[in-house]
Amino acid sequence: MMSRRVASCALLLCGVLLAGAGCERESRPFQQLPAASARTERPLLSQNTPGGRVGESPIDTGASPFQENAWGISEGKRLFEQYNCVGCHAHGGGGMGPALIDDRWIYGNRAANLFDTIVQGRPNGMPAFRNKIPDSQIWQLVAYIQSMGGHAPLAALPGRSDHMRVGTPENARPATPAVQTGHP
Amino acid sequence: MLLVAGTVACTGACGNAPNNSNDNSQNRPRVPAASAQPAPASGPRSAPGDGAAGADGDWTTPGRDPGLTRFSPLDQITPQTVSQLGVKATFSTGFVRGHEAAPLVVGNTMYIVTPFPNVLYALDLTKPGLPAKWTYEPKPIASAQGVACCDVVNRGAAYADGLVVYNTLDNRTVAIDAASGQARWVTTLDDINTGATMTMAPLIARGKVYVGNSGGELGVRGWLTALDLQTGKQVWRAYATGPDKDVLIGPRFRPYYEKDRGIDLGIHTWPGLAWKQGGGTAWGWVSYDPALNLIFYGTSNPGPWNSEQRPGDNKWTAGVFARDADSGEAVWFYQLSPHDLWDYDGVNESVLVDLPIGGAMRKVLLRADRDGYLYVLDRTSGQVLSADPFVHVTSTHGIDLKTGRPMENEAKHPYVGTVVRDICPAAPGGKDWQPTAFSPRTGYLYIPANNLCMDFEGVEANYIAGTPYVGANVRMYAGPGGNRGEFIAWDPVARKKVWSIKESFPVWSGVVATAGGVVFYGTMEGWFKALDAKSGQLLWQFKTGSGIIGQPVTYTGPDGKQYVAVLSGVGGWSGAVVAGQLDVRDATAALGFANAMTDLPQATTRGGTLYVFGLP
């Protein structure tokens, strides 16, 4: 009796162990995986999609809510100074970080690219601001950064600053189509 | 009053009296600790860890000798033979950022450190084409590039006792076995999340490696650290701000001037706790005097540039420290720019020579400083013997030799919300990091200089660790004459410019002077030039592939012939517009340097290459 009980206990324990490790290894839960489309929320950084493109452009995933809003862009300009973005990117010409008023964009200049760049950081030096800045301010920064290169409606673009003149004001800069270069 | 323990006793009245220099009769400039060193009688040619220069044909440390004279005793290349120089070998480093390092030559091997990612190549000088013997890749953290203020440069390695020692951008000092290329030790000294990086070239002396951090534009608290050469363990660290115990200020500290005396000035000359983010980094050069057993180095600008946010003298930034080489104790300090208003960083090299001044041989320290003055200091006491402008200066009216203070021009004082114009020199100074050379043959100091002025507007700076802490809008432009650079031969005894060559761009390369009577330097267009050391006549030049901001060296090859080597590869603060592909439509790009360099992208392209030149 005793030995049978021990044996059944051992069997039970074994079953638990199997369920915990072995069964997990053996399971094939492909039905539960999120649909592939659910993983395309983030912007793509490649224009090369194996098998060809399906549906809309995978690059563009929407604009900043402040894209056409003068107040939001102006707030972005203020924050660009106060969060020390200006320390690395200067007034768009760059320095420690790359220029933001030219047409070369390492990781793309769509709103979602810029949002990700600010939140996640980038490997060659861009700090990650995740959990440091509220999302609404990040979208204001995104709108301002796009406006630096003239990529905003003229009516919403900032004009001359009340500071030392550093170059042509945002509302007088020619917008140049951005190119994602991929390299610093 | 002024007693420098164990060395030279001197009083405040000693200005005209001879000090106890052991050779007052010799009335010509001398290089005390440099090329006079004989080569070791036996064994491999090497620099022992006591700070001596290597053998005549070697180049074991960027300054060539611990006095940083960059003077080579080699004399095959002369004003007569130099025109026959030709390219003997080239080597692509594989990187495109600014190449500021000096190649080292030890015996039959050349060592080159690249900018980030700080690869170390060992090249075999005995084989045609200089193939690599080995390569060491420290693989620094890529994010370090985001906290390097002025391009991701490295100023080179130092060699002693079979080890090649250098710093990585992510704050490691590494010691590599010169024969095998294997790391002997790796010591991590700071954290990029504070904004710190390391770009300077170490100095090795007394069995120690002296290294300092960079980050004066990111509110980094500056330090200089001594590591044990054999183990990499920290021997001492001296901060540039904070309480005296952190700065290693103790009973031996005897500054010459009243302004530099007091208790815990590293706290009290700052508002609140601003000293904790006050800069004073030691990213420049360290020199060493074996007879005095003192090391000399400069501390960087205080942070932020906006001076209204840091009322006070901001000790111990923008000045020169003399410290005991073994204990690190401060012996004297001279603050060049108290409460620095214009980013007049104090990191420039202190060149140690003995000069006949006032009828006696004096142990002096020559500094072509950022503030535009050529200082001659008594290196035993820190007394300023003379300070004369070597470039156009509007920011100050001169240096008061009684108080040691610069006489500031109130009209050039920057304030928040005001644009102050025509401040000369500009923030990079009359001369930035690019090192001078001193020839005991001519008695001249050869200065690679800038001729730049700037407009400056103070703005509020916010301190966020790991981001810039500057608080200034700056735009620079050429000074009087329109040339942005000048190569100057300066007589520190006569206190005057002897001759100079105007250059279109700032001269951002180092200099080498030789016993053959030739000086070499490079331009940002890429010309590598040889001048007659005496007359300044251009004798020879060669256009390299990219702008030159590196430090030339000269050495004897395995064939017994003299060679000259330099890294070409534009970048640095001045060349960031090309190396970093900046947009010069923004005058404030690269902290305002871009405005002065709008035509550099037409003059040169980026890319790092070693060039070796030799006679037929």
Taking the C-alpha atoms of residue A114 and residue B330, their distance in angstroms, rounded to an integer, is: 49
Average pLDDT, stretch A13-40? Answer: 57
B217 assigned to active site: yes
Complete domains list, chain A, with CATH: 70-162 (1.10.760.10)
Q: Is the pLDDT of residue B177 over 90?
A: yes
Q: Which of B419, B457, B586 sits opposite A101 (nearest CB)?
A: B586
pLDDT at A58: 52
B301 assigned to active site: yes
Average pLDDT, stretch B361-369? Answer: 98
Contacts of B584 in chain A (CB under 8 A): 93
Taking the C-alpha atoms of residue B297 and residue B248, their distance in angstroms, rounded to an integer, is: 14
To 10 degrees, the CA torsion angle through B489, B492, B497, B501? 10
Higher-confidence position of B19 and B98: B98
Contacts of B303 in chain A (CB under 8 A): none
Taking the C-alpha atoms of residue B202 and residue B552, their distance in angstroms, rounded to an integer, is: 17
Read off the pLDDT of residues B31-83 as tens digits, 9 standing for 90 and up.
764 433 433 333 333 344 555 667 899 999 999 999 999 999 999 999 999 99
Q: Which residue has the tokens 């251009």?
A: B538
Contacts of B467 in chain A (CB under 8 A): 83-84, 87-88, 127
For residue B91, tell me if it sits in a domain.
yes
pLDDT at B48: 43
Nearest chain B residue (CA) to A80: B462
pLDDT at A182: 85
Average pLDDT, stretch B222-237? Answer: 98
8-state DSSP, B62: T
For residue B29, tell me if it sits in a domain.
no
pLDDT at A42: 75
pLDDT at B2: 34
Pair B214, B283: CB distance under 8 Å: yes
For residue B16, tell me if it sits in a domain.
no
pLDDT at B6: 34
For residue B186, tell me if it sits in a domain.
yes
pLDDT at A167: 93
User: Could you give the number of structural domains in chain B?
Assistant: 1
User: Which residues is B356 bridged to in the sheet?
Assistant: B361
B410 assigned to active site: no
Report residue B235: phi and psi, to 5°: -95, -45
For the ranges A32-41, B206-215, B241-250, B291-300, which has the lowest average pLDDT? A32-41
Read off the pLDDT of residues B125-140 as tens digits, 9 standing for 90 and up.
999 999 999 999 999 9
Pair B104, B63: CB distance under 8 Å: no
Average pLDDT, stretch B577-600? Answer: 98
Taking the C-alpha atoms of residue B249 and residue B236, their distance in angstroms, rounded to an integer, is: 13
Average pLDDT, stretch B375-381? Answer: 98
pLDDT at A180: 87
The active-site residue, picked from B301, B314, B348, B595, is B301
CB contact, 8 Å: A104 with chain B?
A: yes
What tokens does B363 get? 């142990």
CB contact, 8 Å: A106 with chain B?
A: no
pLDDT at A152: 87
ipTM above 0.85, yes or no: yes
For residue B300, tell me if it sits in a domain.
yes
Contacts of A91 in chain B (CB under 8 A): 586, 588-589
In one-letter notation, the amino acid at residue B79 is: P
Read off the pLDDT of residues A65-106 as tens digits, 9 standing for 90 and up.
999 999 999 999 999 999 999 999 999 999 999 999 999 999
Q: How many CB atoms lie within 10 A of CB A20?
A: 9
Rounded to a whole number of angstroms, the distance from the CA of B143 to the nearest CA of chain A is: 4
Rounded to a whole number of angstroms, the distance from the CA of B279 to the nearest CA of chain A is: 16
Average pLDDT, stretch A26-34? Answer: 63
Judge: B590–A101 Cβ closer than 8 Å, yes or no: no
The active-site residue, picked from B190, B313, B340, B343, is B343
pLDDT at B32: 63
Judge: A92–B475 Cβ closer than 8 Å, yes or no: no
Q: Is the pLDDT of residue A18 over 80?
A: no
For residue B321, tell me if it sits in a domain.
yes
pLDDT at B38: 39
pLDDT at B41: 35
Mutate to test the interface with B, among A91, A106, A166, A168 (most CBs of B within 10 A): A166
Taking the C-alpha atoms of residue B539 and residue B564, their distance in angstroms, rounded to an integer, is: 15
Question: Given pLDDT bands bounded at 50, 70 and 90, which one contains residue A62?
Answer: confident
Rounded to a whole number of angstroms, the distance from the CA of B461 to the nearest CA of chain A is: 8
Taking the C-alpha atoms of residue B121 and residue B113, their distance in angstroms, rounded to an integer, is: 7
Average pLDDT, stretch A34-55? Answer: 68
Rounded to a whole number of angstroms, the distance from the CA of B454 to the nearest CA of chain A is: 12
Average pLDDT, chain B: 93
Contacts of A87 in chain B (CB under 8 A): 217, 467-470
Contacts of A83 in chain B (CB under 8 A): 462, 464, 467
Rounded to a whole number of angstroms, the distance from the CA of B93 to the nearest CA of chain A is: 18
Contacts of A106 in chain B (CB under 8 A): none
Q: Alpha carbon B156 to chain centroid distance?
A: 11
DSSP string of B516-583, one letter each residue = TSEEEEE-TTSEEEEEETTT--EEEEEE-SS---S--EEEE-TTS-EEEEEEE---HHHHHHHHTT--
Q: Is the pLDDT of residue A40 over 70?
A: no
pLDDT at B96: 98
Read off the pLDDT of residues B303-314 as tens digits, 9 standing for 90 and up.
999 999 999 999
Judge: A167–B147 Cβ closer than 8 Å, yes or no: no
Nearest chain B residue (CA) to A99: B582
Interfacial B residues in 565-584 facing A (CB < 8 Å): 576, 580-584
CA distances (Å), origin B22, targets A18, A84, B7, B289, B368: 87, 55, 12, 15, 27
* Owning domain of residue B155: 2-11+49-614
Read off the pLDDT of residues B551-576 as tens digits, 9 standing for 90 and up.
999 999 999 999 999 999 999 999 99
Q: Residue B78 maps to which CATH number?
A: 2.140.10.10
CB contact, 8 Å: A94 with chain B?
A: yes
For residue B381, tell me if it sits in a domain.
yes
Contacts of A88 in chain B (CB under 8 A): 146, 467-468
Mutate to test the interface with A, among B588, B591, B595, B597 (most CBs of A within 10 A): B588
For the ranges A111-115, B199-203, B284-288, B612-616, which has the lowest average pLDDT? A111-115
Judge: B467–A84 Cβ closer than 8 Å, yes or no: yes
Q: Is the pLDDT of residue A22 over 60?
A: no
Average pLDDT, stretch A38-56? Answer: 71
Read off the pLDDT of residues B201-228 as tens digits, 9 standing for 90 and up.
999 999 999 999 999 999 999 999 999 9
CB contact, 8 Å: A58 with chain B?
A: no
pLDDT at A31: 62
For residue B27, tell me if it sits in a domain.
no
Cβ contacts of B415 within 8 Å, gap of 6 or more:
B308, B458
Average pLDDT, stretch A30-39? Answer: 52
Read off the pLDDT of residues B137-155 as tens digits, 9 standing for 90 and up.
999 999 999 999 999 999 9
Handedness of CA A7, A8, A12, A18 (dihedral sign): positive
Judge: B589–A164 Cβ closer than 8 Å, yes or no: no
Q: Is the pLDDT of residue B492 over 80?
A: yes
Read off the pLDDT of residues B99-132 as tens digits, 9 standing for 90 and up.
999 999 999 999 999 999 999 999 999 999 999 9
CB contact, 8 Å: A101 with chain B?
A: yes
pLDDT at B241: 98
Name the residue among B5, B86, B73 with its Cα closest to residue B34: B73
What tokens does B392 get? 């156009």
